[in-house]
Amino acid sequence: MSLSLPDNFNNDIQSRDTNLVPVVVIGTFIGSPTVQNIRDWFGNSIHISTNQVSYYDYRDDTDDDRISVTTKPLLLNIPSLKESIDIEKRNYKISSVSLDISNAIYDSKRFSELVGDSSLINRECRIFWLSPTTTWIYPDDQGYIGDDYGNRAMQIFNGSIRRYTHDDEKVRLVVEDRSQATLHKDLPLTNVGVGVNIPDKYKNKYVPICYGSVDRSPVIPHYSITEEVSTDAGEAINVLEFRLKADTENVDFLSNEEIVTVGSAQHIISSLYFYENDAYHNVHRTNAEIGDGVDEDGDMQGVENFRYGLTDIVLDIDTADYLTEGEALINDFSEGLLRVHAIRRFNKIVGESVLDQTSETLTFDLMGSDLGRIYGNINLAGTGNNNTSTYGYLKCFLEPISIPDNLAVDTDGTTIRPTTRLLIDVTHYNFSDDSNLSPSTDTNIPSYSNIWTHGASAVLGNKTHWGSWNTDDDLRFAMSNNLTPDGSTTEYNQINIFDNTYNNISGDGGRVPMVIILI
């Protein structure tokens, strides 16, 4: 409410002696501030004061339809107002007024009888100061009609009655100012409704409001039809979209994505999760495989499954043609799938060795965030010989993950088991010739080839190998002529065996993440 004073009231309080009378008007204003609504409020309200005073419902003294009212002199105390604001603690104390009203019989009725069976609780209550030259009252909080006449009374309070008690002698009203109704709101405010575009589970739900940064903040789903212009015919087409409403205010979803770098490979964790089996599962924004990362422009590889709007996440579930040459962009959603990616780390690494001779030794260096290295003296098996060989390995324990329900199935109806893809960078010296010897400056690795020789001839082609596998069986070796182009053996498809350096993190040599099927 404005603190500007009406002209007549302002002039009246300039003198040394003032004559101000408090007036209390109890009645709720209904509708917009039209002349008729003002008169309805004025005529249906209860008017009390400490004295008998008269005033009108309208400013213009030439209006013959004006209504005059005389207050009932039942007010026992002069209202005092107090409010406080703590700027440092950001607290605002709602002001309240206690009104004592006589319940003695006046004009053949008590005040409690004027109220009758209706309740005063939550009814509006306004307090005015009348000065000698003010002749009418108006609810200032409703705004003005036309020009403001200076002969209106000064409204100093607008509130709602919160407590009403009485006995035979006195009535006590406790009135709180209207800031309670203005400042207090039951949140959240926006309801998605019960339309046909709302899934049954989420009908009549409220759109969340996020304060600050809330990890895994909930969303409300709904369907929408978006009209787009076809690039081929130039005609408008309707595209079905499934939207996840996150907030009523704009959300920067993209900045909430997390990029996890493994070497030079990048994996992007999107802003969309779902909760199942006591765990959150991250939904991949495209249909790309893990480790594909971003392209040269910094955009995520693959066909987009969903995109970020201003206040919601839009899932592309329509199978419409989005390309200019008649090719449809088939993403995971169009095939009825959710692609879930999770980064699994090793929570334990130990070195294991299988020695052919007691004089041989292997050393394992475990290197924290890196897997580590293996070096030492080993026995190398010769081609076409049945002699055994020595090997050692790093046994890596993957951290457990929760698997969501309803896993996808193939065309035969068989459940597609989760796949773990290994990103790895291995430097390997196979000692098959001079080009595969370790640097002489590295004292921990022999700088000479351990090629088995007999007489004047050498058995060439014998190499050390490294491999990865996901079984409890011993590692089965294969010679280089048994290896498939991707480095895996044809006989033991659970084992990937290599005789050279391998890097599928930065993509050297066209390497791709090797696949380990969880058993």
Average the pLDDT over 426-438 and give the result. 67
pLDDT range class, residue 70, cuts 50, 70, 90 = very high
Task: Calculate the average pLDDT of the chain.
Answer: 75
What is the reported pLDDT for 259? 83
**Residue 497 neighbours by CB under 8 Å, 6+ apart:** 465, 466, 467, 475, 477, 478, 483, 487, 488, 489
In the numeric block, the tokens 């107090």 are attached to 82
When pLDDT is cut at 50, 70 and 90, the band that residue 456 belongs to is very low
Report the DSSP beta bridge partners of residue 47: 25
**Residue 322 or 70, more confident:** 70
pLDDT score, position 143: 74
Q: Which amino acid is at 180?
A: Q
Q: Is the pLDDT of residue 330 over 60?
A: yes
Q: What is the pLDDT of residue 171?
A: 92
CB atoms closer than 10 angstroms to residue 438: 17
Query: How far is the C-alpha of 95 from the C-alpha of 143, rounded, in Å?
Result: 22
Tell me the pLDDT band of 445, cut-offs 50, 70 and 90.
very low
Q: Report domain extents, the chain.
A: 7-183, 200-335, 346-517
DSSP 8-class letter at 448: S
Whether the per-residue pLDDT at 123 is higher than 70: the answer is yes
CB 134 within 8 A of CB 153: yes
Closest CA to 69 of 85, 58, 79, 81: 58
What is the rounded average pLDDT of the residues 190-212? 81
Q: How far apart are CA 499 and CA 428, in angstroms?
A: 7
pLDDT at 175 over 60: yes
pLDDT at 377 over 60: yes
Better-scored residue on pLDDT, 88 or 115: 115
Residue 322 has pLDDT above 50, yes or no: no
pLDDT at position 477, please? 39
CB 49 within 8 Å of CB 21: yes
pLDDT at position 390 is: 73
Cα 160 to Cα 124: distance, rounded to the nearest angstrom: 5
SS3 39: helix
Is 43 exposed, middle or buried (CB count within 10 Å of its CB: 0-12, 13-18, 19+)?
exposed
Mean pLDDT across the stretch 103-119? 87
CA 71 remoteness from chain centre: 57
Tokens, residue 488 = 């895996």
Closest CA to 170 of 249, 106, 74: 74
Q: How far apart are CA 178 and CA 516, in angstroms?
A: 66
Give the C-alpha separation, 475 to 381, whole Å.
14
| C-alpha Rg value of the chain to the nearest Å | 41
Confidence bin at 2 (pLDDT 50/70/90) = very low
Per-residue pLDDT band for 448 (boundaries 50, 70, 90) equals very low
pLDDT in tens, 478-510: 333 344 434 444 444 456 677 777 777 765 555
Determine which of 100-114, 136-150, 213-227 has the lowest per-residue pLDDT on average.
136-150
pLDDT score at 81: 73
Residue 455: pLDDT over 50: no
Span 135-171, pLDDT tens digits: 888 888 887 665 556 788 999 888 899 899 988 899 9
- Total count of residues recorded for the chain: 519
pLDDT digits (tens, 9 = 90+) for 273-289: 999 888 899 998 888 87
pLDDT band at 356 (very low <50, low <70, confident <90, very high): low
